[in-house]
Every structure is written in C-alpha cells, then in structure tokens.
Structure 1
C-alpha cells in the first residue's frame, strides 16, 4: 500500500461552483486519486493521491475542461517570481512555572508551548497567467476576448443580414459558431470526464436546437449573452479572490538589512530568521519580528483590523505589512517571508475555502438532481404538448430550449460558496480567522461561550494594582522592592520592576541579595537591611499590627497576590499584584450577553482569584479545573442541547477546544492557536467573539437571500416561458442576471464588520 501525498494546484478560469464540480468529478476519476478539495474563490485545488499517480494525466484532464492549471511548488522550495510562501515546522516558545520564594503564584495559569509540526502549504500569487487572479484589465482575459469576438461577429451578422438577406441564416450560424465551438468543446470534455449535465452542455443543446427550428439569430445572441455572463462571473469572482490575495501586496519588496555595522537594501523575500532590519518612519514592516530598539506607533489595521495605531517599544512583536509611525525601529526577524503572519493568514483562508459548509454540501447534492430534472422537464415541455395536444412542434421545442437555459444551476450552486468565501476573506482582513465554511455556519448557532481566564479574559501577565504604605513613601516602597526583584525573571518580579520603571523611579543597587526558601528575598539597599516577600513570613523580620494584617487580607480577598516590604526592621508597606482583565473584556462580554449568549469562565486558577475577576466582569465562574474537567463541562453543556464555543489559548485548553462545537484560539498568529482551534482571533480582542458570531449570522442570512434570488427568478421565468411571454433571450439573461446578482450580493459581506 503506497503512502498518500498531497499536491496543491493553482487553477485558472474557475469562477463558479459548477466549474469546481466539473473539475472535482474529472480529477476523482484519475487512478490513484483519493480525495480532492477545491476553493473557487482562492482558485486552488488540493489533491490527495498515491505516489504512483499520473499527475501529468491529471493536469491534462483539467486543461481539457478549459482551465489552466499550475502546480504549487513543493515544500522547502525558494520563492520564485510567483511569490510562494511555505509554512514550515519551527519551535514555539516556552513558559515554565518558577519557584520564586515569597510569591503565591498558585493562582496563576501557566502554559508551555512545544514544537508543533505542520503540513507545509504554498500560497502563490501569479503574475501573468490568463484566468488567474486578475492583475490586469478584465478585457485582457481569455473570457473577455471570447465575448468580444462573439459580440463583433454578432454585429457583423446583423449588418450583413441587411445587405444580403438571402444568406441571413448562414451569417448568424457562423456568428454563433465563433462563440459556441469553445463552449461545445468544454461541454463534451466535461461529459467524457463524468459531468454530462454541465452548463456548457445545456447551452450547446439550446443553441443547436434554436438553429434547427430556424432561430439562428436568437441562437447567436444567446451564445453572446452567455459569454458575457461568464465574463461577469469571472470579474465578480475575481473581486472576492483579490480581497484576500491583496494582503500579500502589503509586504514591501525590499528591506534594510543591518549587517557588520552597515545598512544594505535587500529583497524582503530573502530575509532569514535572526536578521536585524531597520524600519524607517512611514515604511511598512517587511517581516514579522521583535523590536530591539526604538519606540513608535504602528498602524496594524491592514493585518489585525486594529482601528488606531498601537504604541510599541523594545521586546514588542511587530507584524509584516504593518506601517511604522514616527520613529525608526531596529527589528529582529523572527519569521522568513514564506512564514510571516500575512502568509499564514492567506494560507489559512485558502485552505478554509476548500472546506465545505453543511449548507454548501446540501446545495451541491441538490444540484446534482436538479440539473437532470430540468433537462427532463424541458424535454417534456418540448414533446408532450405537440404529441398529445396538437401543439406546434417549433413553438414547444422553442419553449423547451428556453427552459434548459432557465434551469442552468450556476446561480444556485454559487449562492453558498460565494457568500462563505466573501465572509472568510472579510474576517481574515480583520483578524478573524475561520477554518472553513462549516465553522462559519456553526458560529451562528452558538448559545454558550466558555472562556479560559489567563491570557484570554485577562492579559496573561500580572500588574501592580496597589502600593500600600504603612508609614513609608509609596515611591520608596517601589524603589526598594524593585531593587530586590530586578535580577529575577519571574512574572511577579517583572511586574514590580515594570511599575517602578513606568513611574520613572531610580532603582538603587542591592547588595548581599539572598533568597529565603518559601519566604522571600533579603538584601542591603542604601545601607539598610530589606526584606520583600510573603506576608506569612513577615513577622520573622518585623512586628505586624492587626490593622495591617486586615489590609493584606482584604487585598487577598480581591484575588490579588500580596508581598510585603520590611525596611530596617519596620514594616514599610505592601505591593499587590493581579493578572487584570483585558481592557475590552467587559464590553466584549456584554456584547455577547446582549445577543442572548450565555458566558462562563472555565479556569485552572484558584477560586479566590477567579471569583474576583468573575465579579469584576459579571461572569459565571468555575475554577480550579484540570484540563479534563474543562472538557467534561463542555460535554455536559452539549448534552443539554446547547451549542458551545470554547475560547482559550489553544494549549492548556486543547481537550476542551476539541470537545466544543467551535474552538476559538486567542492570539491567532501562533502555530499552537492555528493548529488547535477551529477559529482564531489574531488581535486577541474579546469583542471579536461577538463579531465572529455576527459575521456568521450575516452570512447565513446572505445565503438565504441568494437562494431566494436564484430560485425565485427561475420560477418566474419558467412560468412566463411556458405562457409564451418570454423566450431564449430573457431566459439566458435570467440565468446570467441571477448569477451576477447572487455574486454581487455575496460581495456585500466584504464590507467592514461592525
């Protein structure tokens, strides 16, 4: 048994779901092909096949159907003129618990990021292939040339028929054949590949039938209108496709590389992890990285949807494609061009578009029976009245041919994928990443959202909340505490030092520093003995009054970790720290609650700390949970008939994320988040959960509108055609018009998400 591999292709000219169906059917008939996934909007196809499969035959089969096909480069290949991006395995980051004496950090969630292998995928932006994502004027495409040629031939036929009426039928037949021959060729290739009832076959039958009943002028006109309709489909589909692929153009072509004390301008795609680059004011950041020096405001709207510039300094992460503000930055590159945030977003959306939603699969199954049914109805309309009721053959055959055109399924089958593709693209441009139409559809049904605490509802790092004075100056309390903690990497120690730096305090040097196991730190600062550590150990260093104990206990009851400071044998003060709620958490949770969604916190943190945050955010709390407990609770909620979304960091919450109907990871730029969950929020905003759900509801409403348009127009023209009010021209206009209307309606979803 040979091992299956995956090959990805860029397919040009594939502008509707019926195109994808023909390609899917044909490729699945190739020996060795196990599975096929196609994205119309992305213009990609992923084929899972055995190692011995004849890929040349596969490509020839797709080309024979009238499409262009280009394999995407293999894993590890360097980018070419087609700008390919590869997502490779690479280590994540690690964060371990620290046994820092004197600090009660049992109430803080900790997580570890390991190395996560990922299947490589290419994202290619083609430059000069016909029918590829359009980069030039629409009139330069093959579809435009065919439509123009057919239109010119039709005009010539009309003019010629005025000067030579005797040969009028032949002139129009010739004009018709100019447009019909390519259509007929694709129709027969599709029939041989397993799709006999294609739109091209219906068009061919209708045009030939019209000629037989001496309606050559109408046949030529219908063929021209059909080609115009295909062109409009291509233009509309190109807009949806370009909406996400345009992200790749945000990354600048060049970067300023700092090497051996010199600055050189180099191609951005050649940057490697570990390079140091200079980003000038006003320039776009050419790579993901970490700021080494400098402080500036960055406009992250193109990548994360953040509406206002974000102030960033040393050690802050920056994303490729964002715009530097007023100051120069030195940035350490952390991801190569094929592995940056934008490349990952594009790859994720393209793969998501290959995943069909339940609604889309239903419409696809329906259309498989719908089209043969239309052919049968058209045949009955053409045959039954003349045979049984004495109707004119020419009149009823004409009506039957019109019904063939009315019944073309293009508008129906594109109604769902067009809306889903537009939504996935709109979400990605605003930092809302969803892994496919099934996830998008499920989000709209969510009625319970379970949140992790640390790093999700909170910022994931403690901050100093209170500096309590027991007789000393608050600034001196911070100075002395920071002096002892400056050498530690523990998050609580970092919080004390960060507060002192933020208050622009001068931190003195500490001599003879010593850690006292389970108690805290001692040192000599400014010639005075200082202790900073646990309130439980403070009485070994200084007397404590009942009132002082009550102050510390009250802080603990608020879920805060408290360390006390003793200076020269006297209790000087205390510093309280807590992992605070995100600034947008309350508003984001209120938005969910207002929409009727139940919210709950599931955390491994201690109950005291969790209840304090829960009270602040007005959220139901379940604390001191192991990963399996979170998974069990999600299962219990689902057993009650609820549709559950779990929001977390994608690591400690992995079992619960997998158990939920929809798992949502915060901080979607990491490997762990993208791999673990069904969806990810790039900018880690709680309010984006409600936006995701809102986007899903808008999308499903749009799909219902599209189906109504598609079937409603067909029903109207079916009745008017049988009644003799409309004919071939209105029939093809109805099909073309419905397809364009459905596509343009779907593109409304690309508008900003509120």
Structure 2
C-alpha cells in the first residue's frame, strides 16, 4: 500500500505520444538541430509510465487522485496489473505528473527503462529493524517496566515514522483517510493512553501484511509479462535469397520469414509452405496440433510441430495475436471495478467521525455548559481510545489470513483477501475444456483391428510413430509401451504432406493417416460413429490394405464428475467454454451434464464470460495462456496447478494440487471467511458502541476503555482462528 521508504524517483523524460502535434520542419543542416521542437500549438498529448510501489488496487486510486490534481490533465488511468500510468493532457505535464506522484509516495520510470534491482535485505530492512526492536522492548519490559515502556514508545515511533509520513503525503495529494491515516491514528491513540506494547504490535503486523501484499502483487504481474516470452526476440527474414536475423520491431507486413521445427512464430503469418502442423494450444487450448495448408493464417505464438516453414507476415509490430491477448487482459482489468478493502472504505467515515466526536466531547460541555475541563477531556480521551480502530483493523485481516492458511492446507492458493471475498460470492463457474476438465493430452481410447489382431495393429502403428513429436503419435507409442508390447524398428520414415506418415517395417510399407483421407468407404460408418463421440480416428494400412483403426481422445479428469456435482450441490452452476470443435466439446459436456460453447478464440471467451458475469458473479477456471483474458474479465480467475505459468500468475486463485474437487471446498471456505469477517466487525463495533454510551454516561473510564479495545481484539482473533480448523 505505501511506497517503499527511502526510494528516490529516477530522473527521466516520459515516453510521449503526440498524435495531434504538427510535424517539425526539415532540419536545416546535416547535423542534428540543437533546439527542441516547441509544442505551443499542442492540442493533445498522451504519456505513459511505469509506477513502482503499488501493492494493491487502492494504491492505484491514490496515484490517480494525485495526478488528477495536476493542471492540464484531462484523463488519468492506472492499470494495476501492468503497473502502467496513462495520462492525457492539453499541455506538457510530464514533470508535474512525476512530481505529484513522487509527493504521493510512489515512483515513476519510463516504460522503456529496466526495473531497478533491489536486494531483499534492503527492501525488508525497516521490517527487520522493527522486529528486533520489538523483541528488545519485550525483554526490557520483563526486567524493568519503565525501561520497557520507553523501549516500546521508541519502537512505535520508529515504525510509525514511514506510515505517518505516507499518510501526510496522501493527505496532500487528496487521499485524506487512507489506511495509513487509520494506522497512524491507532498508534498515536494507543501511545497517548499508555498502551505502548499494543501500539508497537499493531504497526509491526501492519508492515508484515504490507510486505506480503507487495510480494503477491509482484508475483501476479509476472503472468502478464510472461506472455511476451511466447514471441521470440528475433525473427529470420528471407530477402533477396538471403537469411537475416532481425528484431521484432523491424518486422513488417509482407515480409517473408522462416521458422524452424519446434520454433514459435514471432508474428501472425500466412503459410507459404504447402503443408504443416502447428501447435496452437497457447491461443486456442486445443491439445491436438492443427494442420494448415498454404494460404491459411497462423497466429503468433503457435509452434511449428515437425518442419521448417516459411510464412508471409500479416501483423505489424504490437498487433499480433499475443499482443491482442495482452490488450484484452488490460481492457478486462480496466472493466473490473477495483476491490477496496473494507477497512479502507469504512475508515473514510469512521476515522473522521471518531475524531470529531472525541473533540466535541472534550470541548463542548466545558465551553457551553461550564462543565469541568478535566472531567470532559478525560471522557474525550476515553472516547478516542474506544474509537481506536485496533480491533477493527485486525478483524478483517485476521479472518482473511486464517482463511488463506486453511485454503493452503487443502492445496488451494488464493491471492489475497479481495480474491477470497469475491470467491465467496460466486454463483457460476466457466470451465475451459482441455487441461481443465480433461487430462490435456490425447490418449488411445480404442483399437479396432480389421485383418490383424489388436496387439499386432498397435505394435505396427507404434513402430511407425516412434520418434515423432506429434501428440497423437506419442499417444500411440505410450499405449503400446503401457501394454508392454515389443515395438519393432521402422526405417525410411517420412511425412507425407497432407496425408500422414509412412515407414518400412519388416520390409513392408506401413501408412498411418487420418481415417477420412484413406480411400474407400468400407469403414465410413464406424469412423462416423467414433467421430460423433468426439474421438480422432487414424487408419493403419499396409501395402495399401487397411489393417484397422485407432481412436484417440483427450479424456476426462478422474475427479471431473465429482467436482461438477459438488458445485451443483453448493448452488453453483457450470458451463464449458472451449476453443475445441463443437463435436469434441459436446462429447465432454454430455458426460458431465454441462452446457457449452465451442470454437472460441480468446476474444470470444472474454465476450462470453462478460455476458455471463453480468447475470451473476462468475469464476473462470482454466490452464492455458488463451484463458488468461477470460480469467481477468471474470469476477475471479482460477488456474489449474498443471497449467501454464501465464495462467497461474494471471489467475486470482490456483488449485496447486490440481484436483477439481477443490473448487467446491474453496468456495465453501470463502463463504465461511466472509461470514467470519461480518462477525468480527460486529464484535469490534458492537463493543465500541456499548462503551461509547457508558462513557458518555460516566459509567466507564480509561481502564475499561483499554479493556474493551483489548477484549475486542482478543475475541476477533479467536473467532478468526476457528477458520483454521476447516483446513484439517
């Protein structure tokens, strides 16, 4: 939440785009002009920065508040997921924006500048110092009470300094009652009435929470940056019969590029090679490679499965399929309303109200009714202590921490309290198919011999396919190995473009191809029946004669049915969203009793999720890069533990044990945590309300106020710890 203490904003010029600015006149000499272009006639300018020091969505709002106060700024947007600040202005405001953000306690750097390197020791030095001082203070308290009290006061002041400074910065930038203000008042109020140990402990717990939140935020952002790893940094361009390696920014529409077998496409392209197979799972989730012919389009990020290919580039820099996914994630992040922590929201009313009431109690009776100053100042201080939000501050984090710990025991990683709260509201779940509801790789589901026995058919097919990187080939080899069959050596293996693969086994030519590409119609009825069940069927032929069929399909996870049934019992409805073909999708959906939408690209998934999300809170469960934008567009994204790094880092929660049955358990725990938070808030505010009345009536004093605050804290913590039992 608060920016790391002691950081100095780097000096730089913002990356500036001025679409409406006039072009500069041609330079009058061969050397560069010394005078910069004057932009007095500038009507619109856009600026982009990277923001450092943001730990949560509330920080993004604080940066926005600070920048909005800069004269000339017309629009401000902070994207927390990508740490990006975008500003539109009518004048050159770059330096003033940098100063405003720095005054708010955050730092800016150019998008092109590398992130500064900081050591873990330096980042956590203030926290380590505070922990050491806390231990020393506790030791002195047991030996010598006055010395212990003095040590606790010093510890509190050391811990309070960066928080209070940040609170003052935020007040100057327009955020009057942020959580830093709340914490400062809590610590100062506790010091004022002599609760020195409590004051120091509240600050210590707050700073620990800040560091954990900062770590989680940085981990979440890694998922967005990992998308860029799908595109190679360079491309091989063919020009005038020569190969040259160039950077992606030098690649333009119309260029001809070459991609080796196993290499990823650096840009969208039109295939020039007569035939090739591409693994497009990064974009569609389809586990089986797609066969492309000359003239067909292939997206950036796809992998050439088995051959060197040439393509004509069809996307300009920054506009490829991967770039569009990045844009979708940012747009989805923008559409999602930022989740404010309850305490931060409530403090905007609670904190100033308590301060005002305490001040009025101390001043009004003596001034207007000639009452005793000593008596009413005492009552005012008592009210200030009663209003000290220590128990309230702890109530929500205590429940959330217990809920997150209980989830972790069950193999579920939930990234923060906001995600846990949203998870408890879920009424719908959208599932990706491949790798989520299914195993994620094809398996042999049936061997159907014609003129040989089953073992011979599978043995010959495995001999031809052994050594191939094609997922279907590997599935056939795995099946033969699992049956402990002896696989003979095949020779003269070659791929037949558009047909299949053939080889010599025991001196005879064997061919494996897609069943529909084998001449003749003797097996059409059987092939059609298998394909209607969502299976991929291949034909095995020897010397032109059919030996039999092998059927393959991506199979259901063992726990998929139980998971879907458990969610239904919890009142959560499911739907399957997949990039697979409708036939394969229908086969899986029918087994689970789910509705489905098939043939969806990432943008289609985002649209479907957005429509469902408007009807009721929805969670998106996926495992692939193609699922990342939909996860961001949903109320909460949940990744499978076996998924890609991008899916895991983009999601708000992950099933680290990779069991779908954990979904219903996770939702039940989230709902219990939400109920626990409401109970804690009721305890904290209820006790304060009771003692507020008794103090005004003169029935209670400072020592009971301390007891009320401490008692509320103990009750709230004990109630939160009950959640840990759910993880056993």
User: TM-score range with shorter-chain normalisation?
Assistant: 0.5 to 0.7
Aligned twin of 1:585: 560
- Counterpart for residue 618 of structure 1: 593
Q: Deviations over 1:450-487 (max 9, x none)?
A: 22212222122100111223353322111101111124
Contact persistence 2:442–2:471 (CA under 8 A): yes
- For residues 10 and 149 of structure 1, what CA distance do their matches in structure 2 show? 37
The partner residue of 2:349 within 363, 366, 369 is: 369
Residues 343-388 of structure 1: per-residue CA shift (max 9 Å, x gap)? xxxxxxxxx9xx997351x532432332232233223333445566
Contact 1:647 1:666 in 2 (8 A): yes
User: What does residue 663 of structure 1 align with?
Assistant: 637
Change (3 A) 1:359 1:694: farther
User: Structure 1: how far apart are the matches of 2:484 and 2:560?
Assistant: 29
Task: Using the TM superposition, give the Cα deviation of residue 709 of structure 1 relative to its aligned residue in structure 2, in angstroms.
Answer: 2.2
Structure 2 distance, partners of 1:497, 1:187, is: 62
**Shift of residue 649, structure 1, vs aligned partner:** 3.7
Query: Is 1:227 matched up with 2:164?
Result: no
Q: Which digits, 9 at most, give the CA deviation of each residue in 1:509-540, with x for residues without a partner?
A: 22444555544444432234434334345555
Contact 2:140 2:147 in 1 (8 A): no
2:134 aligned partner? 143
Aligned partner (choices 380, 384, 401) of residue 400 of structure 1? 380
Task: Quote the residue 2:622 is aligned against.
Answer: 648
CA contact (8 A) 1:650 1:657 kept: no
| Whole-Å separation in 1 of the counterparts to 2:199 and 2:53 | 22
Q: Name the structure 2 match of 1:358.
A: 339
Kindly state the Cα deviation for residue 577 of structure 1 after the two structures are TM-superposed. Answer: 0.6
Contact 1:243-1:425 at 8 Å conserved across structures: no
SS of alignment partner, residue 452 of structure 2: coil
- The 5-angstrom pairing of residues 429-440 of structure 1 reads 432-434=412-414, 437-440=417-420
What residue is the counterpart of 1:348 in the other structure?
none
CA distance in structure 2 between the partners assigned to 1:676 and 1:687 by the alignment: 21
Residues in 1 aligned to 2:160 and 2:512: alpha-carbon distance in whole angstroms: 85
1:608 to 576, 579, 583: 583
Match of residue 2 from structure 1 = 14
What is aligned with 2:697? 723
Alignment of 1:193-592 (within 5 A): 194=171, 222-223=193-194, 226-233=195-202, 358-360=339-341, 362-385=342-365, 392-420=372-400, 423=403, 432-434=412-414, 437-470=417-450, 472-513=452-493, 515-516=495-496, 518-538=498-518, 544=522, 550-567=525-542, 571-592=546-567
Instruction: Report the equivalent of 1:693.
Output: 667
Q: Secondary structure at the match of 1:459?
A: strand
CA deviations over 1:656-708 (Å, ceiling 9, x no partner): 44443333344577443256545444454333433443343233223212211
In 2: Cα distance, 1:440 partner to 1:393 partner: 48
Distance 1:37 1:715, change over 3 A: farther
1:207 Cα deviation (Å)? 7.6
Asked if residue 633 in structure 1 is aligned to residue 608 in structure 2, the reply is yes
Q: Which moved more, 1:736-745 or 1:578-587?
A: 736-745
Give the SS at the match of 1:647: strand
Deviations 1:159-214, CA, capped at 9 Å, x for gaps: xxxxxxxxxxxxx9x99998998899899978865579766667768987xxxxxx
Q: Distance in 2 between matches of 1:230 and 1:35?
A: 36
**CA shift digits 1:402-456 (9 cap, x unpaired):** 1111111233244334544565566568664555544433222222222221222
Distance 2:600 2:164 in 1: 62
Aligned length: 544
How far apart, in 2, do the equivalents of 1:206 and 1:511 lie? 83
Tell me if the contact between 2:382 and 2:705 (Cα under 8 Å) persists in the aligned partners. Answer: yes
Which has the larger displacement, 591-600 or 642-651?
A: 642-651
Q: Aligned partners of 1:183, 1:557: CA distance in 2, in Å?
A: 67
- Aligned equivalents of 1:183, 1:658: Cα separation in 2: 36
Give, in angstroms, the shift of residue 592 of structure 1: 1.7
TM-score (norm 1): 0.58
Are the counterparts in 2 of residues 532 and 566 from structure 1 also a CA contact under 8 Å? yes
Q: 1:55 to 1:682 in 2, by over 3 A?
A: farther
> What CA distance in whole angstroms lies between the structure 1 residues aligned with 2:186 and 2:494?
86
**Superposed CA offset, 1:533-555 (max 9, x none):** 34345555xx94xxx65444432
How far the C-alpha of 1:496 sits from its partner, in A, is 0.5
Rate the CA distance shift 1:656–1:514 in 2: closer, same or farther, 3 A. same
Matched, 1:712 2:686: yes
Q: Contact (CA 8 Å) 2:395, 2:681: kept in 1 or not?
A: yes
1:574-601 CA distances to partner (integer Å, 9 max, x unpaired)? 2111011122222222222221111111
User: Which consecutive unaligned segments of at least 5 residues does structure 2 have?
Assistant: 1-12, 16-47, 71-75, 88-92, 217-332
User: Which residue pairs with 2:574 in the alignment?
Assistant: 599
- CA-based RMSD of the aligned residues comes to 5.3
* Contact 1:449-1:598 at 8 Å conserved across structures: yes
CA deviations over 1:260-287 (Å, ceiling 9, x no partner): xxxxxxxxxxxxxxxxxxxxxxxxxxxx
Q: Indicate the SS of the match to 2:439.
A: coil
Distance 1:181 1:557 in 2: 72
Structure 1 residues 743, 230: closer, same or farther in 2, change over 3 A? farther
Deviation of 1:713 after TM superposition, in Å, equals 1.9
Q: Secondary structure at the match of 1:132?
A: helix
| Counterparts of 1:48 and 1:629, CA distance in 2 | 27
Aligned CA distance change for structure 1 residues 57 and 733 (closer, same or farther; 3 Å)? farther
CA distance in 2, matches of 1:466, 1:148: 72
Go from structure 1 to structure 2 and tell me whether the alpha carbon gap of 1:386 and 1:656 turns closer, same or farther (over 3 Å shift): closer
Distance 2:710 2:512 in 1: 77
Distance 1:661 1:175 in 2: 46
Q: What aligned pairs does 1:94-173 form with structure 2 within 5 A after superposition?
A: 125-126=120-121, 132=127, 141-146=132-137, 154=145
CA distance in 2 between partners of 1:241 and 1:372 (Å): 23
TM-fit CA distance, 1:558: 2.0
The verdict on how the C-alpha distance between 1:645 and 1:178 changes in structure 2, with shifts beyond 3 A counting, is closer
Given that 1:627 and 1:652 are in contact with CA atoms closer than 8 Å, whether structure 2 keeps it comes out as yes
Structure 1 residue 630: Cα displacement: 3.2
SS of 1:652's partner is helix
**Native 8 Å contact 1:244 1:428 kept in 2:** no
Say if 1:463 and 1:509 are closer, same or farther in 2 by CA, change over 3 A.
same
Question: Tell me, what secondary structure is at the counterpart of 1:377?
Answer: helix
How far is the alpha carbon of 1:743 from its aligned partner?
Answer: 5.0
Whether the aligned pair in 1 keeps the contact of 2:137 and 2:151 (CA below 8 Å) is no
